[in-house]
Amino acid sequence: MVSGAVNELSSAVTGNKTAASREHVLAVKRDYISQPRLTYKTVSGVNGPLVILDQVKFPRYAEIVHLTLPDGTKRSGQVLEVTGPVLTVLLRMCACLWVCECFTGDILRTPVSEDMLGRVFNGSGKPIDKGPTVMAEDYLDIMGQPINPQCRIYPEEMIQTGISAIDGMNSIARGQKIPIFSAAGLPHNEIAAQICRQAGLVRKSKDVMDYSDDNFAIVFAAMGVNMETARFFKSDFEENGSMDNVCLFLNLANDPTIERIITPRLALTSAEYLAYQCEKHVLVILTDMSSYAEALREVSAAREEVPGRRGFPGYMYTDLATIYERAGRIPILTMPNDGMFITQIPILTMPNDDITHPIPDLTGYITEGQIYVDRQLHNRQIYPPINVLPSLSRLMKSAIGEGMTRKDHSDVSNQLYACYAIGKDVQAMKAVVGEEALTPDDLLYLEFLQKFEKNFIAQGAYENRTVFETLDIGWQLMRIFPKEMLKRIPQSTLAEFYPRLK
């Protein structure tokens, strides 16, 4: 064996450059084993994606296990539970009759590199775009590194999405984690794609925008989506010229269900590398988190754990938090006072449009707000069908105001919320008592309701409104009312902005 290695090395040295480079490539791909490994043939049970092994020496939690089929096919799994010499292994594909197992002695790590941008990977992190192998610059734990909460910097820079319902009333800050609550058949994918196309920083001047193409990256992870959704995002990134700054992880509906558990963690590990090592501002889009939660339920049921609400495991809150809390604004060595951003937009489809379902319910506890996509607005051909009343951005207050957007931003948002809520109440009352029984003030609120949905919420899929244009539209709508009815705006602000522009 030693003489063979010497001959192989000598041929690489004495040969031409092509032969030497070929040997280097083979060395990178070769699976070297630095110490002896024990091989086990002690499978005592198989239950769906779970394999029970017995008489294992010194097993470790979260260790990666290689299993071999009778036909030589290899599969990988991860140790989920250790009880003495008996352990449970979670496979990325359903199990059948296994022959032998080899323990690697290491946890699941993913190769990362800046060359991942512009590439497409499957749910396990393997390239599927027929491109060259990505040469890894590092191998990182997919669970991420612990972040000291004291080191986090509070997000204070607003992202201008170009969508009035978001910029005007639910402003997003860089480093925020804010989900899109949607349902089957609603255009949540189109809204997420529009945010990717139009996202940029707001400057003090109306004319200066920071799109920072060279310093911006998008990591997109799809879990359990159909081919149409995956093709939509890929083609949209290619059409707007941002594909070179996008890294895609695709776990389709026909891929293994268990693979969905690691897909978002692979995406977030890649995002952390791009942000903290390559110094890029990263936007992470995760769709569909409902498919991820259902995969988690499938594993929990196979392990025969005590189910929680609607069969989901009791630890789903903690599990979701390990994904969502990896967003934020973290200082790095070269930028200790500024830091790099990972902004996270998870997309989840609410079963039966039920916002009290465990998936959106627990997601709302962890994240910093939500964008609610409404079916009634969608049925009335309003795009984007964002219902601003149940929508929320908890970091909006720190990202708007004088010096960041405009000093009247907060007051305009509060007044629009109040008028829209009253208009909804008047609309419900009109259905009971009729329009003839409404007061003149009620009719004003009804007029505001119709114009607000038509002019403020509704806009084109490629219409990019600045935050200043959004605020001006808000003032145009509020001029329906006399000054005395705008009770949530200070008199000084009314005196400056209420008069019509000449």
For residue range 373-423, what is the model confidence (pLDDT) as tens digits? 999 999 999 999 999 999 999 999 999 988 889 999 999 999 999 999 999
Question: What region, left, alpha or beta, does residue 147 occupy, with left being phi > 0 and alpha being psi -120 to 50 degrees?
Answer: beta
Cα(197)–Cα(177) distance, integer angstroms? 18
State the architecture of 39-107 in CATH terms. Answer: Beta Barrel (2.40)
212: exposed, middle or buried (C-beta count within 10 Å: 0-12, 13-18, 19+)? Answer: exposed
Amino acid 31: pLDDT: 57
Amino acid 25: pLDDT: 65
- As given in the structure block, the two tokens for residue 203 are 């400057």
328: exposed, middle or buried (C-beta count within 10 Å: 0-12, 13-18, 19+)? Answer: buried
Amino acid 293: pLDDT: 95
**Closest by Cα among 169, 116, 109, 179 to 141:** 109
CATH entry, 116-399, from 3.90.920.20, 3.30.70.270, 3.30.2350.10, 3.40.50.12240: 3.40.50.12240
Beta-bridge partner residues of 78: 64, 90
Amino acid 501: pLDDT: 57
| DSSP structural state of residue 15 | S
Cα(50)–Cα(313) distance, integer angstroms? 16
Amino acid 96: pLDDT: 56
Amino acid 60: pLDDT: 84
Q: State pTM to two decimals.
A: 0.84
Q: Which residues of the chain have pLDDT under 70?
A: 1-17, 20, 23-37, 92-100, 203-214, 333-338, 501-502
Amino acid 273: pLDDT: 94
CB 328 within 8 A of CB 371: no
Residue by residue, DSSP assigns 112-171 as E-GGGTT-EEETTS-B-SS-PPP--SEEEETT-----GGGPPPP--EEE-S-HHHHTTS-
> Is residue 203 helix, strand or coil?
coil
pLDDT in tens, 160-183: 999 999 999 999 999 999 999 999
Amino acid 32: pLDDT: 54
pLDDT in tens, 261-308: 999 999 999 999 999 899 888 999 999 899 999 999 998 998 888 999
Amino acid 431: pLDDT: 92
Beta-bridge partner residues of 79: 89
**Closest by Cα among 341, 359, 355, 357 to 395:** 341
Amino acid 206: pLDDT: 40
Amino acid 486: pLDDT: 94
Q: Where are the domains of the chain?
A: 1-30, 39-107, 116-399, 409-497
Amino acid 289: pLDDT: 94
